[in-house]
Structure 1
């Protein structure tokens, strides 16, 4: 829709679609997630948890994390240290699983030594509806990825 004229009248349409990325999920239909890009987040993991803490409606009110039962397990807002620890533990599990499950993508982008050392990762699949970037373009979009 970003290239459709008059969709958002106060913004000119783009001439070409940008790169669209999917975040990982566990769905298998219509096809399983494929990690095209893997990013190590070890060095920024604590900052990420702090950022997630600020997204209260998404992290503690069920917006992005699911059911009322899951949210009932979160510590109350009156206990911010416990709340942060709860959130951190959930994201440690998720991002450690991404590093483990998509290790081949980490190795492709970071090489064997650095790729095998990654503890926490975020992974992305390039959406077929957007522009299909080259490896060099991906490194421009993710400038912290090591150069080949």
Structure 2
């Protein structure tokens, strides 16, 4: 059994940007964990931070069930305030050492977009560089080798992202849509609010209409996911990549 760790900045990002590959890995019998480095407590136009953080954690676990993800951990860091500090670097390192992943999927450290996303990418890059160093202590023993690392897209990464790995996620598209819908606070409330679509949101109990809504307004992520080889982590040869990602054709 292989182990994958998807690390993002906010709950709902692992689902949207890597939910398909996670569902495919889970279906193949592998263990996938999601980790977000903030609790997402800024992402709403009506709810205050504390109740929103609780709600988004609940949504995350429902999304994990839809994808077959076995663990979903959320750091208690305010949304919008993530910084690549030494303290957080050690926390991320501890989670990587504890999960002992073969594969880590993270956000880009460089580029524009949400500052939390870029900080999350930087924290993963820094942590991976040190996960094998025994004298950098974080409460967990060092790994024998670094994981293979991929970078996922986000809404602002197109100018810097390279499509090194292309994954057809249509076999698990409904599971991915249902994982997104589990985050109703984002896909049926805050996202539509930001995009001026609140008047088009169907009733939450009309599942088919909600699925169609997500498919209409987030179409770019529902059939294909692409990943870039990170400039850090272990370099894997083609044989190992095919073992890690047996459903990928362009390796």
Q: What CA distance in whole angstroms lies between the structure 2 residues aligned with 1:57 and 1:127? A: 31
Q: 2:94 aligned with 1:94, yes or no?
A: no
Q: 2:234 aligned with 1:131, yes or no?
A: yes
RMSD of equivalent CA atoms: 3.0
CA contact (8 A) 2:163 2:226 kept: yes
Point out where structure 1 has 5 or more consecutive residues left out of the alignment.
97-119
Q: TM-score, normalised by structure 1?
A: 0.61
Pair 1:69–1:38, CA change in 2 (3 A): same
The count of residues paired between Structure 1 and Structure 2 equals: 117
SS in 1 for 2:243: helix
| 1:35-114 correspondence runs (5 A) | 35-62=163-190, 68-70=193-195, 72=198, 74-91=201-218, 93-95=219-221
Q: What CA distance in whole angstroms lies between the structure 2 residues aligned with 1:51 and 1:67? A: 17
- 2:150 is matched with 21
The higher radius of gyration belongs to 1
- 2:78 is matched with none
Which protein has greater RCO, CA pairs closer than 8 Å, 6+ apart?
1
Q: Which runs of 4+ in 1 moved over 4 A?
A: none
Q: TM-score, normalised by structure 2?
A: 0.39
SS in 2 for 1:130: coil
Q: What CA distance in whole angstroms lies between the structure 1 residues aligned with 2:184 and 2:141? A: 33
- 2:137 is matched with 6
Point out where structure 2 has 5 or more consecutive residues left out of the alignment.
1-126
CA contact (8 A) 1:139 1:147 kept: no
1:36 Cα deviation from its structure 2 partner: 1.1
